[in-house]
Structure 1
Amino acid sequence: MITADNITSHEFIGLNTEIVKSTNPQVIGLNGRIINETKSMFTINTINGDKSMAKSTNSWKFSINNNDIVVDGSKITKRPFDRLGAKA
C-alpha cells in the first residue's frame, strides 16, 4: 500500500499528479495521470494530450488515501526498477 512514508519507493505509473512547484512557472498546475516513467521524465496524460515533463525540476503532488503528498522530483530521479523497493 502506498503511503506518505513510502511513496518514493513505489511505482508512479497510473497515479494522478499535479505540478505544484517548478523552475518553469508555466507548467505549475499541469495535472493528469502518469502513463510512463523513465529515469528523468514522467509522461502525463492531460486534457490537452500527453506531456513529457522532467522530474527533477518540479515538485509533484499526489493524492493518496485522500491525503495530498508533495514529492520533490530530485528525490525520485532514478530508473523506476532501481527505485522500487528502496528505502525512502
Structure 2
Amino acid sequence: MITSQNIFYHELIGLDTSIVQSSNNQLVGLSGKILDETKSMFFIQTVTGVKMIPKNYSTWQFHIDGMPVSVNGNTIMKRSYERMGVKA
C-alpha cells in the first residue's frame, strides 16, 4: 500500500499527478496520469495528449488516500525498479 512515507519506493505508473513547482513556469499546473517512466522522465497523459516531462527541476504532487503528497523530482531520479531496491 502506498503511503506518504513510502511513495519513493513504489511504482508510480498509473498514478495521477500534477506539477506544483518547477524551474520552468510553463509546466506548473500540468496534470495527468503517469503512463510510463524512465530514469529521468515521466510520460504523462494530459487532456491535450502525452507529454514527456523531466522528473528533476519540478515538485510533483500525488494524492494518496485523499491527501496531497509533494515529492521533489530529484529524489525520484531513478528507474522504478531501482527505487524499489530490485535488481533487473
For the aligned pair, the TM-score class normalised by the smaller chain equals over 0.9
Offset of residue 85 of structure 1: 4.4
TM-score relative to the length of structure 2:
0.95
Tell me the distance in 1 between the aligned counterparts of 2:84 and 2:51: 23
Q: What is the TM-score of this pair, normalised by structure 1? A: 0.95
1:16-70 Cα distance to aligned partner (Å, 9 max, x none): 0000000100110000000000000000000000000000111000001000000
Quote the Cα distance in structure 1 between the aligned partners of 2:23 and 2:35: 23
Identity %: 48
Q: Give the 4+ runs in structure 1 shifted more than 2 A.
A: none
Secondary structure (helix, strand or coil) at the match of 2:81 reads helix
Q: Equivalent residue for 1:45? A: 45
Partner residue in 2 for 1:4:
4
Q: Which residue number corresponds to residue 63 of structure 2? A: 63
Size of the aligned set, in residue pairs, is 86
* Structure 1 CA distance for aligned equivalents of residues 15 and 79 of structure 2: 17
